[in-house]
Amino acid sequence: MGSSQIRAAACSFALFCSLLGPRAATAQSGSTCTEFIGFSQTEQYYLSGFIHSVPNPGGWQLRWFSGGSVDLWADRGYSGWGGGALVSHCAQSSSNPDRVVLNVSGDYNTDPNWWAQQTSRVIGNVRAKYPSVRMIALQPVVGGPGGGRCPISSPDAKLPFVRATYNYPYIKQGLAMDLGDAVVLGASPEVRSCGDYRPGDWAGHMTDSGAQAVGASVAGFWANGPSAAAPPPEPMPAPGPADVAPPVAEPEMPPAPDMSPPPDDEEMPPPDDGGASNSG
């Protein structure tokens, strides 16, 4: 490549960057402080595998409360919003995080609308507590392998399945209803096998090995995950209904050749003018 081609390529790249403007720079810089909000299972994998695997551990902090069901976080007076539930702190802007990762769990429930409604209330509480937040990412409880259910035999379980694995698909459906306005999906963590849950634990607490593996997986997602300031793509205009689509012009056909017989030699009578010559 000649010097003129190199200069042209450099100019094109500079123009491309200038068109992206501060949006691209902000997206690349990511979040200054991200707060994880969750429950005991969240605390397990956050401390066992996540914070040791994420590339920028100083940019994360953990808020969790035991038994932190989503309908409890929906209450602004819930103890989880207190200072004691914030168990670790970002290196900067700990009091004003710019991103929140909200982990969602609760009692056995198959209604995605319920999960969506409760999560929407928590989103409102997050914004009220942290006006600095520019992005909220939603994550479900840690599901079973491949999203399947793990059986359990426990007198405390309402159903014969580990609750986390039972709720996982319905939570995911509910979270998808809350997207938009800087609310995005985060990771969808799953255990490697049902053996990653503690034996006899109906709620879904994990073994040390299982928690470490899930934490590393979630950290891998966030190493390349959504940026705190990356705006959603511009919506494409919806196509109009088919019945109002403009008609397609048909190609013009050449005129058909005149196949009429030649006129007779006898003189044709003059056309009738309807008496127009006698009017007036």
109-140 confidence digits (pLDDT tens): 999 999 999 999 999 999 999 999 999 999 99
Structure tokens at 165: 């694995």
Q: Is 52 left (phi over 0), alpha (psi -120 to 50) or beta?
A: alpha
- Count CB neighbours of 16 within 10 A: 10
Domains and CATH numbers, the chain: 31-223 (3.40.50.1110)
Structure tokens at 118: 């409760």
48-87 confidence digits (pLDDT tens): 999 999 999 999 999 999 999 999 999 999 999 999 999 9
- Count CB neighbours of 31 within 10 A: 25
Q: pTM (2 decimals)?
A: 0.72
Residue 197 predicted with pLDDT over 80: yes
Kind and range of the H or E run holding 45: helix 40-45
